[in-house]
Amino acid sequence: MILANRIVVITGASGGIGAATAELLAAQGMSVVLVARRKPELEAVAARCGATAQAIVADATRRDEVRRIIEAALARFGHIDVWINNLGQGITRMPSELVDADIDEMMRVNVKSALYGMQEILPHFRERGEGHVINISSMLGRVPYATYRAAYTAAKHYLNALTANFRDEISRDYPGIRFSIVSPPAVPTEFGRHALHGGPDSRTLPNTQPAEQVARAIAWVIETGAPDVYTAPGSRDRVVSYYSTHGGDASP
């Protein structure tokens, strides 16, 4: 399949990683379907992506809205090649202080939105015998080193496991359907400002990676089909180092 002809759906596309990815893919000749709740911001991104971009104002945490997104994209383009689950929300609360509502919200936004996307696009991908789901995770989904983001970290760990299990299940009968995890570090966007219970602004954190660099990694994943990708140099070594230090076999 020619990369430039691909139809790509991106949730959470009104800013940050989603917007940067949409603009990069559009510049590479792909048609992008942009999904978010914020209409003015979404339409501004779509305008920068050109005439083949489609903006759909929708809430991807609702299964019926995900179905509507798919129907609208298919009505416009006839098929979908890549589905990028990029919706996410942070939280600032220590683990000992978490309440039910905190956990429910992290699961609703960070896990259920991706689950609905994966489940609802699968019939179309199965019919075509091919397709690619890319779930945007986080380095916190690999290493729990931000204690105040405990519930977000747990949700991203859940997302990673769910993605891997989808891959194992579907690839048995449909090897042309791929599932990828992309794990960026902190990115200087409005993510921190919109976190539940406030917290540090992501744009003020050290060692961040620009959204444009993450977008380039996502484009590479579309091209290669790589199943599990860290977007920043040295990330894999940090994960290995963490578990080498904190893990170990129990003696009988």
CATH of the domain at 103: 3.40.50.720
Residue 64: partners with Cβ closer than 8 Å, 6 or more residues away: none
- What is the pLDDT tens value at each position of the chain, 252 positions in all? 457 789 999 999 999 999 999 999 999 999 999 999 999 999 999 999 999 999 999 999 999 999 999 999 999 999 999 999 999 999 999 999 999 999 999 999 999 999 999 999 999 999 999 999 999 999 999 999 999 999 999 999 999 999 999 999 999 999 999 999 999 999 999 898 899 999 888 888 888 999 999 999 999 999 999 999 999 999 999 999 999 998 878 867
Model pLDDT, residue 2: 58
Q: Identify whether the C-beta of residue 10 lies closer than 8 Å to the C-beta of residue 21.
A: yes
The answer to whether residue 14 sits within a structural domain is yes
Model pLDDT, residue 43: 98
Model pLDDT, residue 71: 98
Whether this prediction's pTM lies above 0.85 is answered by yes
The answer to whether residue 251 sits within a structural domain is no
The answer to whether residue 252 sits within a structural domain is no
Alpha carbon distances (Å) from 234 to 160, 216, 220, 239: 19, 17, 18, 9
Could you give the residue numbers annotated as active site? 152
Residue 114: partners with Cβ closer than 8 Å, 6 or more residues away: 85, 87, 135, 159, 162, 163
Q: Which domain holds residue 217?
A: 3-246
Model pLDDT, residue 1: 46
Residue 237: partners with Cβ closer than 8 Å, 6 or more residues away: none
Q: Identify whether the C-beta of residue 137 lies closer than 8 Å to the C-beta of residue 110.
A: no
Alpha carbon distances (Å) from 30 to 22, 27, 74, 156, 199: 9, 7, 15, 28, 36
Model pLDDT, residue 4: 79
Model pLDDT, residue 190: 85
Alpha carbon distances (Å) from 148 to 102, 133, 140, 199, 232: 12, 29, 11, 9, 22
- Total domains present in the chain: 1
The answer to whether residue 223 sits within a structural domain is yes
The answer to whether residue 10 sits within a structural domain is yes
The answer to whether residue 31 sits within a structural domain is yes
